[in-house]
Structure 1
Amino acid sequence: MSLLELHDVSVTYRGTAGDVPAVRGVSLGLEAGEALGVAGESGSGKSTLAMSLLRLLPRDARVSGRILLEGEDVLGMSWGRLRAVRWASASVVFQGAQHALNPVRRIGDQIAEPLLVHGAATRDGARRRTAELLEQVGLPAWRARGYPHELSGGQRQRVMIAMALACSPRLIVADEPTTALDVMIQAQVLTLIRSLVAEHGIGLMMISHDLSVLAATCDRLAIMYAGRVVESGPARQVFRDAAHPYGRALAEAFPVVGDTASRRAPRGLGGDPPDPAHLPAGCSFHPRCPVALASCASEPVELRSLTAQVPGPPHVAACVHVGEEAR
């Protein structure tokens, strides 16, 4: 049994002009000790998908499909059961620690809160556990007496990771955990996340727009566009040899160190992602796709396996050009 299984998950927001689809039919799996990266431009649905895992979306969101956490459907849980699962079985490292932390409460009290709410420790035990967690994420125990504004951005992000680890959950969802951090601090936080996954056998779902970060941190990578997964497979393989034109465009947006041509003429992707309320027919990417066929404007494309597979997770992409030689 997988740690996390998503089966045909869709999320729709109720708008004034009708329903707006943000996530459309996503199916993914995650094993314990494995890191799954989810990438895409802003508006692709990746953060909405992440927040749906623990039903953290606003009231105007409607979620369908099945979200199985260790075999139990999150969407069918009572509120009491859901409160018991949050932090204890699965936790979230939210984007922007400065806004996620309470500015008027001490760091130690915020880390200890999940332990006390779930009855996982006494007050003395929570204090000791807080000191252990701070040291585990590379901060001195005395930082527990401080307030969020007294910490740097990287230190606040480490505090968020410590909070997520407090009750020893099996799953951690990290939503853009390195946004707004400088390159050196970003590298430190990513190294920390990788080591925690390896040492504790935690399942990690990491959300980011940065393919290079996900390729360096995760085992598998799923790329989303207009609410759907358009490509997934081994992280380094997808980053190095993406099969979907959108995946290639994201990977090529990163300049190659030492490559003068890529520095002088950086490649990118023209146009903007489609409005979820007015998605184009057929393949949603076809208006921006440099290799689109006439059929792409009318016929949706399901995920297809690449003909040349390597050992490991399957590499699939939703493009008419995938596997052409086999048809």
Structure 2
Amino acid sequence: MSLLEVRDLRVTYRSGASAVPAVRGVDLALGAGQKLGVAGESGCGKSTLALALLRLLPASARLSGEIRLDGEDVLTMSWGRLRAVRWAGASIVFQGAMHSLNAVHRIGEQIAEPLLVHGRATPGAAKRRSGELLEQVGLPASRAAAYPHELSGGQRQRVMIAMALACDPRLLVADEPTTALDVMIQAQILRLIEQLVAAQDISLLMISHDLAVLADTCDRLAVMYAGRVVEEGPARAVYDAAEHPYGRALSAAFPRIGDPASRRAPQGLPGDPPDPSALPRGCTFHPRCPVALDACARDEQELREAGPGRQAACVHAGAAVQA
């Protein structure tokens, strides 16, 4: 049994009298100790998916489907049970550490809070553990006395990782954890997450718009577009040779080291993702797709086999497999 199973997850936001679909029938599975990446442009539903996993969405959101964590459905948990699962069973690292940390509390107090809430330590032991966690993420224990504004962006992100690991969760959700950081600090934070996940045998679900980062960090990769998974498979295979045109466009948008042609002329993707409240008929990607057929504008494409351990929602997917 997978540690995390998402089955036909749908998330709809109420906006006045209308309903706006943000996640439309997502299926995902993540085993113990595995690393799954979720990629896509802004507005494709990645962060909504991440927040849904621990029911952190606003009251305007309506959820259906199943989110099974260790066999329990998060969507049917009581508030008391859900509170016990957050931090201890699964935790999340948000992309904006400055907005996630309390500006008027010292960081040591904030790291100790989940330990105290879950009864994992006495106040004295929680204080000592906070220092240990800071050292584990590469900060001196003395920084526990600092306030968030006294730390750099990279240091604040390390504090968020320390908080997420405080109660020894089995699942870590990292929602664009390096977006606000410069390139050098991004690399350090990514290596830190990789090392901690491997050392503690934690499952990782990492969200990013950068396929290259996910290909280097994760075992498998799911590409989302307009609220749906349009491709899923081994991370390196999806990055190097995506079966869905959208996955190929995302991969081509980033220059590759050692490839002068891609560095001098990186390829972009014209247009923007569709408005969730006015999705086009058929395959939602077809208005931007360079290889769309008439059928793409008529029929929504479901995931189909596209090679060993791979699926893609495209009429062209798996042509070599089917031939």
TM-score (norm 1): 0.97
CA distance in 2, matches of 1:266, 1:195: 31
Q: Which residue of 1 aligns with 2:310?
A: 315
Structure 2 spans left out of the alignment, 5+ residues: none
Looking at structure 2, the residues matched to 323 and 191 of structure 1 have their Cα atoms a distance apart, in angstroms, of 34
Amino acid at match of 2:138: G
Instruction: Tell me if structure 2 keeps the 8 A contact 1:34–1:219.
Output: yes
Q: Which amino acid aligns with 1:5?
A: E
Matched residue, 2:86 = 86
Identity %: 72
Deviations 1:151-210 (A, max 9, x none): 111110000000000011111111110012111111111111111111111111111111
* Deviates further, 252-261 or 206-215: 252-261
Aligned pairs for 1:104-123 within 5 A: 104-123=104-123
What does residue range 149-188 of structure 1 map to in structure 2 within 5 Å? Answer: 149-188=149-188
Q: How do 1:1-327 and structure 2 match up within 5 A?
A: 1-307=1-307, 309=308, 314-325=309-320, 326=322
Q: 2:5·2:30 contact (CA, 8 Å) conserved in 1?
A: yes
| Amino acid across the alignment from 1:76 | T
Provide the secondary structure at the position in 1 that maps to 2:189. helix
Residues 191-233 of structure 1 show CA distances to partners (whole Å, capped at 9, x for unaligned) of 1111111111111111111111111111111000000000011
Deviation per CA, 1:5-51: give whole Å up to 9, x if none.
00000000011241110000000011111111100000000100000
Q: 8 Å contact 2:283–2:301 — kept in the other structure?
A: yes
RMSD value, Cα: 1.0
Structure 1: runs of 5+ lacking an equivalent? none
The size of the alignment, in residue pairs, is 322
Q: Secondary structure of 2:159's partner?
A: helix
How far apart in 2 are the matches of 1:260 and 1:236?
Answer: 21
CA contact (8 A) 1:40 1:208 kept: yes
Which whole-Å CA distance do the structure 2 matches of 1:118 and 1:85 have between them?
A: 9
- Structure 1, 203-212 or 222-231: larger mean CA deviation: 203-212
- Preserved CA contact (<8 Å) 2:243 2:318: no
Q: Larger deviation: 167-176 or 250-259?
A: 250-259
The answer to whether the Cα contact below 8 Å between 2:13 and 2:19 also exists between their aligned partners in 1 is yes
Q: Given that residues 34 and 197 in structure 1 are in contact (C-alpha distance below 8 angstroms), is that contact kept between their aligned partners in structure 2?
A: no
